[in-house]
Structure 1
Amino acid sequence: MKNNNKKFILIPVLSSLVILLSACSIIVSNHDDSKPEIKTTISNQGFNKLAVSVAISDISVKYGDKYKVEYAGPKNLKPTANRKNGALTIKQSAPGIHHINGDPTITITVPKQLLKDVTLSTNDGDIEIENIATTNSISVDTNDGDIDITNLKAPHGKIDTNDGDINISKLISKNGFKVNTDDGDIKVSDSTFTGYKLDTSDGDIKVKDSSSSSTFIENKNSSNVLTASTQDGDIKIK
């Protein structure tokens, strides 16, 4: 009787595990010819708000001559793009197991006009922002990847990765930024912050000519404070 009870208990546990795995994205990095690579434009509509939420893709947002959203990667992982009331939403779901060769990439080109809200999120991929300006907040998040930002103008925002480095150059802000990585280095240069609240659990902190082993605080009550933390990595401010 005891053995039978164990069997009946094991069946729903295994069923739950199968359901859980089917809802997750599992990546196998070898090419599968049944899922061909494509390069295509998925949108060329103008927008003033941008929200990107994808499962397995690098995201690049950069200045260019005209609005364009391009995708390169497996055909079955092609994201969707929808525009409503001036807001462009890009989504990609990828449950199950996926054979990929290289990293799928979504490249978003924006003319030199101010965007309002910008939200970029990928579960597995790097995020790059270059020569972009926003009137409101910006949120950048990746679960597994690096974040590189060059020449960004935004009043405030949040930048986060669980596993990756964060590199920021020429960030102009007014009301501060929150930057975090659980495992990686944070480097910030040529930016307009007037105060700092920096913390690392296992690493070094260097702010221009000052150094600290774990915590650095300067002008924390100013209006434009960089709050940055890493569990395992260094923080360098130039």
Structure 2
Amino acid sequence: MLLAITRLAEKSTTDAALCKHYGHECRVVSPLRAEIRSSTIQTFVLAAADHEFDAIFFTSALPAQKIAPLLPPHLTKTTRVIAIGPQTTKALHESGIAAETLPTYYSRDFVPYLGDWIKEKRIGIPRADVPNPELINAIEEAGGMAFEYRCYGLEPTNQPLNLDNVDAILFTSANSYKMALLPPLKNILPIAIGDITAEAMRTGGLEPKIIGDGSLEGTLKALNTYLRSIK
């Protein structure tokens, strides 16, 4: 199948190879673009280098790509670095930053992953300028302290997505669905990368036929299971 994958262009580097591994082709379509905030990144890097955080949580690969090369390699001697998924972990490791990886792909699992360790700990979170009160409230309710650094904004491209000849469209985030300029999806299979994205799609009137586990690989596995079931 030819899949349209809604991505920031900066985050699409491994999609084609992964899709090919599972027997598909892909086309990246970008309903959003990233507006990088260099001054915020620099402020975060200085704070991290001064050991102001007990842990840093990278919630996506893009801030990891931008920030990891600027961090001192010895940082992890005093600071735990946690990545939301393997692609984010890979971006950190490529710059020599050792990182733990959440066992799932959802920020809601960050606090349960840390458990009682989080009490009285300072958590630095470099992320997109997208509210996530559930994460912040969970950290604070567990006795931790959250420090958000909104390192990039997400702006709509305001360009209709090129879905010519595609068989399916895979939405990789709630915002990538909400901000997409979509033509009618006649004969195009709608796919959500995870349950949060699926809920946004349902709210907007589009029922996903397939819901992944929050990762591209897990979603491709779910797609192939679905395709086998309808043969």
Give the TM-score range, shorter chain: under 0.3
Normalising by structure 1, report the TM-score.
0.24
Structure with greater proportional helix content: 2
Normalising by structure 2, report the TM-score.
0.24
- In our comparison, the structure showing a higher alpha carbon Rg is 1
Structure with greater proportional strand content: 1
Q: Of the two structures, which has the highest relative contact order with CA contacts closer than 8 Å and spacing of 6 or more?
A: 2
